[in-house]
């Protein structure tokens, strides 16, 4: 960082004319300017590169005699390169040099991660900074140059680059066809990777034909698990064709597939494997939350140990006269003892806090259709207001499944009525004096009120994705 002094007679005559009339006294201004002492040499401003016509290019700069490690910054917006926030631009770590050679293949891979389609042109801006832990030094505008780049033309013909596939849990046998320009080789693999580098220890492969391969949604879903990418977000993954013998990739430019996984969660606990529905909600403040869209039904702990019989009850166990169909039992799920609520939550998920439940119902009250957007159309039964419509718009499938009291194992509140009851993570005695000291559940009655009924030892469980 350099500090420069300017006197008022040499700094903008207009300022002197307006502000200096009252006095001839010299005023000294001290101005701090972020300064890197780096002069960019090549490429020239407004240079154009067609990666199909070059094998590499060398970026060069003058470091002003300093001996530092450097990074090259790229951004589609020149103003972002002045922003000290690291995620405003992309970085190539060049090291202790004043030039860096980027071959066309590597350059094309960067362009793929920046969202460019194969064979298209785009404008980028570049600059160079000394490397720091947080890349925080912001360059002056004169240190930023503009370049235009055309990506490599791909030999992968279908689906189009950056094609979006939303996988369907309801139709897992739906298919997607992949096609490419044949080089006459039949011993091929269709390969997918979470990065455009296609490191062989981080790819998923399927046997492929001479110029095409068809995969089902179920097969594409396996890619998400094997590449360990976020199952409930839109992911950018890369695909290409690899020769099984030579291990070479067919196309110099890999294609990008935007893959949105099935909204399901498969909970494996030893020999027990249960598939649950999942829903993604976006609240009015922009927060995104992934909720399990079914009541928990596990009979094992996550370590595969069976849950003790005294810690798990089912709606079918209610005394005497009330029996429930298998479909109702499935929807109601298990009623778990309060003491094990955290122990039974699936790995990678958590029991919602009272605040998280409050926000869910508050947001639902603002939606078109009101609380109907939360309710299962079959198993909520008495709690739906038909005139409001929009039943289960949020695909959360809430059901009225009741609770069991501490002193007996009779189902309290008619299951299938109008009350949703759940354990929550942080029971408190501070609920405005409306409950006793042993409240262990949160209850919604289909109106604007949330209740915290006491003495509820066993209740259903819902969970939120994330620890």
How confident is the model over 110-140, as pLDDT tens digits? 899 888 999 999 999 998 888 877 666 666 6
Residues 453, 458, 463, 467: is their CA dihedral positive or negative?
Answer: positive
pLDDT over threshold 70, residue 383: yes
For residue 122, what pLDDT is reported? Answer: 94
Please give the backbone phi and psi of residue 363, each rounded to the nearest 5 degrees, phi first: -65, -40
pLDDT tens string 290-311: 999 999 999 999 999 999 999 9
pLDDT over threshold 80, residue 275: yes
CA R_g for the chain: 31
Residues 6+ apart with CB under 8 A from 182: 210, 211
Residues 6+ apart with CB under 8 A from 339: 311
Band the pLDDT of 88: cuts 50, 70, 90.
low
Write out the two tokens for 305.
Answer: 């140990």
For residue 436, what pLDDT is reported? Answer: 47
d(CA 330, CA 434): 33
Write out the two tokens for 335.
Answer: 């009623």
Residues 130 and 36 sit within 8 Å (Cβ to Cβ): yes
Q: What residues are paired with 350 via a beta bridge? A: 464
pLDDT over threshold 80, residue 11: no
For residue 461, what pLDDT is reported? Answer: 97
pTM of the model: 0.77
Residues 6+ apart with CB under 8 A from 63: 37, 38, 70, 98
Percent above pLDDT 70 for the chain: 83
pLDDT tens string 20-35: 434 444 444 444 445 5
pLDDT tens string 170-179: 899 999 999 9
If 0-12 CB within 10 Å is exposed, 13-18 middle and 19+ buried, where does residue 231 land?
Answer: buried
d(CA 396, CA 281): 9
For residue 387, what pLDDT is reported? Answer: 85
pLDDT over threshold 70, residue 13: no
Residues 51-80 as b or e (16 or more Cβ within 10 Å = b):
beeeeebebebebeeeebebbbbbbeebeb
Among 392, 400, 388, 375, residue whose Cα is nearest residue 459: 400
Please give the backbone phi and psi of residue 405, each rounded to the nearest 5 degrees, phi first: -85, 160
End-to-end CA distance of the chain: 42
> pLDDT: is 438 or 448 the higher one?
448
Among 51, 96, 46, residue whose Cα is nearest residue 71: 96
Among 157, 209, 205, residue whose Cα is nearest residue 187: 209
Domain boundaries in the chain? 2-33, 39-150, 156-262, 266-465
pLDDT tens string 416-447: 577 889 999 987 544 443 444 556 788 787 66
Does 39-150 match 156-262 in CATH topology? yes
Three-state DSSP string of the chain: CEEEEEECCCCCHHHHHHHCCCCCCCCEEEEEECCCCCEEEECCCCEEEECCCCCEEEEEEECCCCCCCEEEEEECCHHHHHCCCHHHCEEEEEECCCEEEEEHHHHHHHHHHCCCCCCCEEEEEEEEEECCCCCCCCCCHHHCEEEEEECCCCCEEECCCCEEEECCCCCCCCEEEEEECCCCCCCEEEEEECCCCCCHHHEEEEEECCCEEEEEHHHHHHHHHHHCCCCCCEEEEEEEEEECCCCCECCCCCEEEEEECCCEEEEEECCEEEEEEEEEEECCCCCEEEEECCCCCCCECCCCCECCHHHEEEHHHCCCCCCCCHHHHHHHCEEEEHHHHHHHCCCCEECCCHHHHHHHHHHHHHCCCHHHHHECCCCCHHHCCHHHCCCCCCCCCECCCCEEECCCCCEECCCCCCCEEEECCCCCCCCCCCCCCCECEEEECCCCCEECCECEEEECCCCEECC
Rounded mean pLDDT, 391-413:
86
Band the pLDDT of 14: cuts 50, 70, 90.
very low
pLDDT over threshold 90, residue 81: no
Rounded mean pLDDT, 50-77:
89
**Across the chain, what does the average pLDDT equal?**
84
pLDDT tens string 308-323: 999 999 886 545 456 7
Which of 18-22, 159-163, 196-200 is the most confident on average? Answer: 159-163
> pLDDT: is 363 or 113 the higher one?
363
Least reliable range by pLDDT among 56-60, 131-135, 221-225: 131-135
pLDDT over threshold 60, residue 8: no
Cα 334 to its chain centre, rounded Å, is: 30
Rounded mean pLDDT, 197-217:
93
Band the pLDDT of 188: cuts 50, 70, 90.
very high
Rounded mean pLDDT, 83-98:
78
> pLDDT: is 3 or 100 the higher one?
100
For residue 24, what pLDDT is reported? Answer: 40
Q: Regarding the domain delimited by 156-262, which CATH topology (the fold level of the hierarchy) does it fall under? A: Immunoglobulin-like (2.60.40)
Task: Identify the CATH number of the domain defined by range 39-150.
Answer: 2.60.40
Rounded mean pLDDT, 104-113:
90
Residues 276 and 292 sit within 8 Å (Cβ to Cβ): yes
């Amino acid at each position: 960082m350099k500090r420069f002094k300017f006197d008022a007679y040499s700094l903008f005559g207009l300022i002197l004319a307006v502000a200096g009339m009252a006095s001839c006294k010299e005023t000294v201004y001290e101005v701090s300017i972020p300064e890197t002492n780096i002069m960019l040499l090549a490429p020239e401003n407004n240079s154009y590169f067609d990666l199909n016509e070059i094998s590499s290019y060398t970026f060069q700069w003058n470091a002003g005699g300093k001996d530092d490690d450097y990074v090259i910054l790229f951004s589609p917006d020149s103003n972002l390169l002045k922003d000290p926030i690291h995620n405003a631009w992309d970085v190539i770590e060049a090291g202790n040099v004043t030039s860096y050679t980027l071959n066309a293949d590597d350059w094309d891979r960067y362009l793929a991660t920046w969202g460019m389609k194969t064979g298209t042109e785009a404008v980028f801006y570049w600059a160079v900074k000394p490397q720091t832990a947080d890349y925080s030094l912001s360059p002056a505008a004169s240190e930023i140059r503009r370049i235009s780049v055309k990506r490599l033309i791909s030999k992968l013909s279908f689906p189009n680059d950056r094609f979006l596939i939303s996988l369907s849990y309801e139709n897992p046998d739906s298919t997607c066809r992949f096609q490419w320009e044949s080089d006459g080789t039949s011993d091929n693999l269709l390969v997918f990777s979470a990065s455009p580098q296609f490191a062989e220890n981080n790819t998923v492969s399927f046997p492929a034909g001479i110029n095409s391969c068809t995969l089902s949604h179920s097969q594409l879903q396996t890619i998400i698990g094997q590449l360990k990418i976020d199952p409930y977000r839109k992911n950018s993954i890369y695909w290409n064709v690899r020769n099984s013998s030579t291990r070479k990739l067919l196309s110099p430019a890999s294609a990008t597939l935007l893959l949105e996984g099935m909204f399901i969660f498969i909970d494996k606990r030893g020999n027990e494997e249960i598939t649950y529905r999942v829903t993604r909600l976006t609240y009015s403040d922009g927060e995104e939350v992934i909720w399990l869209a079914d009541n928990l039904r596990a009979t094992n702990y996550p370590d595969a140990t069976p849950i003790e019989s005294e810690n798990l009850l089912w709606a079918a166990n209610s005394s005497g006269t009330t029996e429930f169909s298998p479909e109702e039992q499935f929807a109601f799920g298990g009623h778990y003892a309060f003491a094990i609520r955290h122990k039974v939550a699936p790995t990678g998920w958590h029991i919602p806090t009272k605040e998280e439940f409050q926000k869910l119902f508050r947001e639902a009250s603002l939606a078109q259709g009101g609380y109907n957007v939360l309710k299962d159309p079959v198993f909520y039964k008495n709690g739906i207001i038909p005139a409001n419509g929009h039943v289960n718009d949020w695909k959360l499938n809430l059901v009225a499944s009741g609770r069991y009291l501490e002193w007996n194992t009779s189902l309290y509140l008619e299951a299938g009525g109008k009350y949703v009851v759940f354990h929550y993570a942080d029971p408190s005695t501070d609920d405005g004096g409306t409950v006793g000291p042993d409240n262990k559940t949160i209850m919604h009655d289909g109106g604007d009120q949330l209740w915290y009924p006491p003495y509820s030892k066993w209740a259903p469980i819902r969970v939120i994705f994330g620890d």
